[in-house]
Amino acid sequence: SQTIHQWPATLVQPVGSPLSLECTVEGTSNPNLYWYRQAAGRGLQLLFYSVGIGQISSEVPQNLSASRPQDRQFILSSKKLLLSDSGFYLCAWSVDTGNEQFFGPGTRLTVL
């Protein structure tokens, strides 16, 4: 069966520090991968998606970047965190564009 992992589960970082969140999927090949952010009191916003290794599409201009160095690995990064980067970050995968997305457990990021 397929599983999706995210780490860390929680993270507290100072403003201006770098960020690296990792997401990995097991049990499937060539998944579509997605990063979402859920800010406090708001819905989920799609940040990035990827349909293959090295292929990243950004949905909104922001302080973050994403990379996909391996087929089942998706990394969310920042060189310098802002207070507004605080939120709950969710990674998701799907078999292809026509199927449901499966979400990871999320990472709660607090920037102080």
Partner 1 sequence: GNSVTQMEGPVTLSEEAFLTINCTYTATGYPSLFWYVQYPGEGLQLLLKATKADDKGSNKGFEATYRKETTSFHLEKGSVQVSDSAVYFCALRAGGTSYGKLTFGQGTILTVHP
Site of interaction with partner 1 (CB under 8 A): 6, 32, 34, 36, 38, 42-46, 49, 51, 57, 59, 90, 92, 94, 96-106
Give the nearer residue to partner 1 in terms of CB position, either 12 or 15.
12
Between residues 13 and 101, which has the closer beta carbon with respect to partner 1? 101
- Minimum Å distance from CB 90 to partner 1? 6
Of residues 75 and 92, the one with the C-beta less far from partner 1: 92
Provide the minimum distance between the beta carbon of 13 and partner 1 in the complex, in angstroms, as a whole number.
Answer: 20
Q: Parallel, antiparallel, or unpaired for β 107-111 and 10-13?
A: parallel
Q: Residue 66 and residue 83: Cα distance in Å, rounded? A: 19
What span, in angstroms and rounded, lies between the C-alpha atoms of 17 and 30? 32
Smallest distance from the beta carbon of 110 to partner 1, in angstroms? 15
| Site of tokens 């920037």 | 111
Q: Yes or no: say if 87 and 80 are a contact pair by the CB < 8 Å rule.
A: no
**Complex with partner 1: residue 13 or 102, whichever CB lies closer:** 102
Contact assessment for residue 57 and residue 4, using Cβ atoms and an 8 Å cutoff = no
